[in-house]
A and B are shown apart, each in its own frame.
Chain A
Amino acid sequence: MTMQNDAYNFAYLDEQTKRMIRRAILKGLAIPGYQVPFASREMPMPYGWGTGGVQVSAAVLTPEDTFKVIDQGADDTTNAVSIRTFFERTAGVATTTTTRNATVIQTRHRIPEEPLTEGQILVYQVPIPEPLRFLEPRESETRKMHSLEEYGLMHVKLYEDIARHGHIATSYAYPVKVEGRYVMDPSPIPKFDNPKLGNMAAIQLFGAGREQRIYALPPYTQVVSLDFEDHPFVASKADHPCGMCGAEDSYLDEVIIDDAGGRMFVCSDTDYCEGRQTAGHKGKDAA
């Protein structure tokens, strides 16, 4: 019977809330890039910790899943550990830090370096889902702009970047157009990650808790970063190999390594970096 009062809710949320979120996810998949409103619930963690992503994860997890959480590429930040522990306790799921072993990956601000596969789901924590928000603060107006495909102002903003800096200065949350229709905020991932959004084998789900929006990219969806013919989009990164594993194709963080101001560049994706080091790859700063 469905009316029973479970003392223990699988994945924390009550069934009615999960149904509401699941319906929003299905509509999101049917209209790629469109922000579906949902009634976000209070979660036992602060908003900045990704309550939107947590609610989406709670709605998609099954007991057999293996769950991974990354925060800016790392599995071991307070935020990542706290969310991972939350689902170990409430859903009893297995957890992992290894990208290829995970079936559901919740992420804040990165896409893993290792290409995802058809058996995987990537859940993004989104702070501000509306790509037009900084041009127009009123929700009623941005909704109208999306409905009319009125995206000219967005291009004007990017072009002002070019006029001022000689290139498009936006380097995070770089806006994309989905299947030639909706302009979408990919969450504050570095623009280096933008090319991975399109044609991905995994399902991508985006949850914004405070703003109460869910949106989605089905697998193999066409996603194009906005640009101009004379200033094409470039997925830039620091022009160095990783100091630890020597990778030349990964997104790097610059870290300070001693009191004398010494620095090195190291993969932001810690699982990717460790995997390469285990396989014998060595960067110039590796011990």
Chain B
Amino acid sequence: MQADTLSGGFSDPARQSAHAFRSVREALGRPGTIQDISGARPPAPLSSAAGAALLTLCDTETPVYLAGNHDCDAVRAWLAFHTGAPPTGPTDCMFAIGTWAALGPLSAYPIGTSEYPDRAATLIVECPSLTTAGATLTGPGIQTSAALSLPELTAFQSNHALFPLGLDFIFTSGTRLAALPRSTVVTQEGAF
């Protein structure tokens, strides 16, 4: 086991995960806002924000799919040591992590059932940057409209069309994160 597998977790798990959860909850409860999230120093290519989100939400009960370059020895070992989350493929994961290109196609993930729509995957999308510009967002959590730099439009529109089923997304970049629940209506910039 390498030294960096053992390090980079929360030094004070209860308090740091309470703060990290607040960031994730604010992001998902207020789509289009960008939140700071810190405390994790995971191995590359995992961002600090994605690492903190995984430490806060994942454990032995939550199968995680590592997509593309995120499926490497360093990330696998770090995640196993700090969360115990079992690695899995996209079809039966609760969380998935990777770049937008690596995570596709979205049809592979569980979207919940009509009686249990909560049994759907949450995708953590690693982004080169995050800005409050781009696609227009409306829906629950948003007073009038918001804007967020999404990797594309149609995938999120098709996902919203499945509501109350569908995937939920967390976007991470460095030590920042934003989110897009299935309830959000996504339209082209300036369309609202």
Contacts and interface: CB of A to CB of B under 8 A. Distances in A.
Contact of B56 (A6, A22, A220): A22
Interface string A14-49: 011011101111111111101011000000000000
B57 interface: yes
Contacts, number: 126
B182 to A, nearest CB: 6
Contact of B14 (A9, A26, A28, A147): A9
Contacts of A1: 6, 9, 13, 82
9 contacts: A15-B13, A18-B18, A25-B25, A26-B24, A27-B120, A60-B25, A181-B163, A182-B164, A221-B140
A97 B181 CA distance: 34
A228 to B, nearest CB: 25
A59 B25 CA distance: 11
A143 B115 contact: yes
A59 B116 CA distance: 22
A34 B165 CA distance: 11
A193 B35 CA distance: 31
A131 interface: no
B141 A221 contact: yes
Contacts of B136: none
Nearest to A217: B140
Nearest to A30: B181
A2 B18 contact: no
A22 B95 CA distance: 14
Interface string B1-25: 0000010011001110111011011
B175 interface: no
Interface in B121-151: 122, 139-143
A61 interface: yes
Given A20-B61, A30-B182, A62 B25 contact: no
B30 A219 contact: yes
- 4 smallest beta-carbon distances between A and B, as pairs: A10-B14, A30-B181, A218-B141, A27-B118
Interface string B41-66: 00000000000000111110110000
A62 B140 CA distance: 24
A23 B183 CA distance: 17
B18 A61 contact: yes
Nearest to A181: B164
Given A11-B18, A19-B58, A24 B140 contact: no
B28 A32 contact: no
B68 interface: no
A91 to B, nearest CB: 9
Q: Which of B6, B15, B83 has the most CB of A within 10 A?
A: B15
A59 B94 CA distance: 20
A115 interface: no
B62 A23 contact: yes
B181 A60 contact: no
A144 B113 CA distance: 11
B41 to A, nearest CB: 13
Contacts of A31: 117-118, 163-164, 181-183
Interface string B87-124: 00000001000000000000000000011111010100
B118 A22 contact: no
Contact of A18 (B17, B61, B115, B122): B17
Nearest to A39: B61
